[in-house]
Structure 1
Amino acid sequence: MKRTILTLALSLFTAGIALATEPVEVDKKEVKAEESKVAWKAYKVTGSHNGTVTLKSGTLMFDNDKLSGGEFAVDMTSLIVTDIEGGSRYKLEGHLKSDDFFAVESHPTATLVFTKVKSTGKNSYEVTGDLTIKEITKPVTFDVSVYGSKATATMKVDRTDFDIKYGSGSFFDDLGDKTIYDEFDLVVDLEF
């Protein structure tokens, strides 16, 4: 009798461990790159410039309808300026794509991989991720909101973390009104 009870208890314990280690089903949602938007805004002493880059691919992961992960790739060769027109626009786009800034010829893709997601309220999350620009990876923290099949995120990025120092007052003296601030903003609207 004792042996039967012990065997039964051992069986229940083993079954409990097996159930506890069952993998959690993660729902992966592919982001619709063509319908999503990545906008940037950069600042200088005399004003600002803004534009967009194109999302190449993206995936958001959900666990029980809660955001749990994500991975994204951005086509840096698609970088455009939207606040000015004509020759000035193309000159600025060329400079931003050059080695002074994003070096898109040798680094055509930037990536972001979520490493930690914390719920901060209904549909709101604080996300930490590894951002890679010019093959340099640095952690970034930003806010994400998810509503139905849409998500939005805003973040500040310090370009000097990615060896983009052109016109930075942190590295060069006497730039005066040619100083470009180190941080730029990204606003991301995703559809999945």
Structure 2
Amino acid sequence: MSPDDERDYVAYVTARLPSLRRLAYNLCRDEHRADDLVQNTITRLYVHWTRSREANDLHRYVDKMLVRCFLNDQRLGWWTRVRLTARPAELPVAGADLETRAVVQAALALVPPRQRAVLVLRFLCDLPVTEIAELLGCSEGNVKSQTARGLARLRELLGRGANRLEEEEVARYGSR
């Protein structure tokens, strides 16, 4: 890679890092996994930088890379996602309803990965159905059905209450 290309890459990644990290965290709900997803994405971007930067919309291209890294990571064995220590404390956001946020995040963690990706992209990143379909490489109808199924599952989980969600999350991912 030429020095000019490397400077462009560093400038781009530096500017996009916070939004990539936020997207990754919303997908996997784990600070450390989010960092790993972002690292994998920007490493792949570096390898293919000269080709990647010629994309029509580089931001969407990199978001697509990140979502695909997340979905590929979900297909790996359980040992890549097991926590051997207690989960580190999450930093509170000023002015946010922390209890509601924690309950919604716990429920979202129990939604299947592809549906979770659609819900995060649709409602947290505010992307239209056409862009989500392009990012995930599927039809718009598939995005709509995944959204409907994901919302139904989320409603079902939220109807169970916070204590039940925490029990299910511990059973699925290990101790908190």
Give the structure with the larger strand fraction. 1
The answer, yes or no, to whether TM exceeds 0.5 is: no
Give the structure with the larger helix fraction. 2
Identify which of structures 1 and 2 has the higher relative contact order when contacts are C-alpha pairs closer than 8 Å and 6+ apart.
Answer: 2
TM-score (ref. length: structure 2):
0.29
Structure with larger Rg: 1
